[in-house]
Amino acid sequence: MRVPPRHWRILGVGRDGRVGEAALGSSRHAVGMSTPRTRAAVLVVLSLPSLLLVGGCTNDATDSGSVSTTTVPRKLEGVVADANRMAPALESELRGTTYPTTLSGARQALENAGIEPTGRNVVGGYEYDAEAVEFTLCIESPDGAYATYDTAPMALFVTGESGGCPKG
């Protein structure tokens, strides 16, 4: 014979630490189920599967034209860091205004905004796409290493260890 739900019983830990019994479906609730320790334990148990699933998620897609900061050759570290910092900062500074259309205009806009490359790196290239209202900024080092940052996808676009920026 099946027992109606109002007669089901569950065990719980009371505020005093003793195990107690409460009728499920009655006006009484499980004893002690609202203690902070019990709530924390329930939260951990319920969250654990979600955290395990999210922890295993990675972006396996790769773009042959982009460089991950964890695999940047030492020679490119400075120009990649400058490009990743300077292009988004310049775009943020210029948003809602007229973008420069030339390399000299971009250099002036960077100077006006107080955005400078580190060390002896220089702004070696700038290309503006008026239709998309986006730009590509290239930073190069004295030894010819360079990194370009394209604001359309907001990512590094091209890098090289020698030869300087591909476009001026």
Tens digits of per-residue pLDDT, 80-136? 999 999 999 999 999 989 999 999 999 999 999 999 999 999 999 999 999 999 999
Do residues 90 and 150 both lie within one domain? yes
**Domain-embedded: residue 66:** no
The pLDDT of residue 71: 76
62 belongs to a structural domain? no
Does residue 67 sit within a domain?
Answer: no
User: What's the CA gap between 145 and 141, in Å, rounded?
Assistant: 5
Contacts of 28 (CB under 8 A, 6+ apart): 22
- Let me know: does 130 contact 101? Beta carbons within 8 Å: yes
Count Cβ atoms below 10 Å from residue 36 Cβ, excluding itself: 7
pLDDT at 2: 55
Q: Is residue 42 part of a domain?
A: yes
The yes-or-no verdict on residue 75 having pLDDT over 50 is yes
Q: For tokens 């010819």, what's the residue?
A: 144
Q: Report yes or no on 165 lying in a domain.
A: no
Q: Which domain holds residue 101?
A: 74-160
Share of residues in the chain with pLDDT > 70 (%):
58
* Other C-beta atoms lying within 10 Å of the C-beta of residue 161: 14
pLDDT at 146 over 90: yes
100 contacts: CB under 8 Å, gap ≥ 6: 94, 106, 108, 109, 126, 128, 135
Q: What is the pLDDT of residue 166?
A: 86
pLDDT (tens digit, 9 = 90+) per residue, 98-110?
999 999 999 999 9
Residue 29, in any domain of the structure: yes
Clarify whether residues 43 and 87 are in a common domain: no
The pTM of the full predicted model, rounded to 2 decimals, is 0.57
> Residues near 109 by Cβ (< 8 Å), separated by ≥ 6?
90, 93, 94, 100
Q: Which helix (H) or strand (E) holds 83?
A: helix 77-94
> Are residues 10 and 43 part of one domain?
yes
Please report the pLDDT score of residue 61 as a whole number.
41
Query: For residue 81, is it within any domain?
Result: yes
Q: Decide if pLDDT at 56 tops 90.
A: no
Q: Is residue 123 part of a domain?
A: yes
**Do 111 and 90 form a contact (C-beta atoms < 8 A)?**
no
Whether 80 and 145 map to the same domain: the answer is yes
**CATH code, domain carrying 84:** 3.30.1300
Does 147 lie in the same domain as 82? Answer: yes
Per-residue pLDDT, averaged over 22-34, amounts to: 46
